[in-house]
Amino acid sequence: MSLMPSKQLFLICRLFLLFVLFSSDQFARERKVIRFSGELMHWDAAGPEPQFRFLDSTSLREKTIYCDAETMRLALGNQSFEKHHIEGKATQLNPTSDIWLCVGRPHIFQKYHVSVSSPASQSKRIQGQVIESDGETGQIVYLVRGKRSYLTIEPALAKEMAEALSKMQTVEINGDYRYDRIKRYYTKD
């Protein structure tokens, strides 16, 4: 039993329509995954919709990202959100949604910075969290805006920092430092 030409044309048109529909962008869309970073403004880990808000460093707009309560508890602990920054990944709820969900555990940290004082004084303002210290050479490694920075200071001071780090204490460097060309390390002003 063969099909009549009108039925054949109808079937070909239906197949063509299905092909066009499934090859369109609407069906090919996937959820976006983005990286985010900015100043942490507020969070709610205990509410019905655990979330945090941050000031996006690129658009300078406040954004909200939803996380599960356990992830937020692990990332935030009992710390306050003042002067903290957050970075991580987020994905859309669905391909056309403006609701973002965190992917993995966001990284929360305090942001330190280095600023140079007046050029005439030849001293630098150094502020950061020390993560490594060598008491023999005086070289320390400290975090500035989440990036590692290196500095050689007085070996005795570096040794004190190394001892505190070995006891799992938080060590910070904060002050004005001037480079001594004879000793070949930075001394605190």
Q: What is the pLDDT of residues 166-188, one digit of tens each?
A: 998 889 998 888 888 898 899 88
- Per-residue confidence at 121, pLDDT binned at 50, 70, 90? low
Q: What is the pLDDT of residues 65-118, one digit of tens each?
A: 998 888 877 777 666 666 788 888 999 988 888 889 998 888 887 766 555 544
Alpha-carbon torsion 86, 91, 96, 97, what sign? negative
| Average pLDDT across the chain, whole number | 81
Q: What pLDDT is stored for residue 38 in this prediction?
A: 86
Q: 10 Å Cβ neighbour count for 66? A: 16
Please compute the mean of the pLDDT values over residues 12-28 and round it to a whole number: 62
Residue 71: which region, alpha, beta or left (left: phi > 0; alpha: psi -120 to 50)? alpha
Q: What angle do CA 38, 147, 172 make, to 5 degrees?
A: 95
Of the candidates 99, 97, 101, 69, which has an alpha carbon nearest to the alpha carbon of residue 88? 101
d(CA 133, CA 168): 13
Task: Give all domains of the chain, ordered by start, each with its CATH number.
Answer: 33-110 (2.40.50.140), 115-188 (2.40.50)
Alpha helix positions (H), the chain: 5-22, 25-28, 69-76, 155-166
Determine the 3-state secondary structure of 42 from DSSP: strand
Q: How many CA atoms lie within 13 A of 89 on its CB side?
A: 7
Q: What pLDDT is stored for residue 10 in this prediction?
A: 72
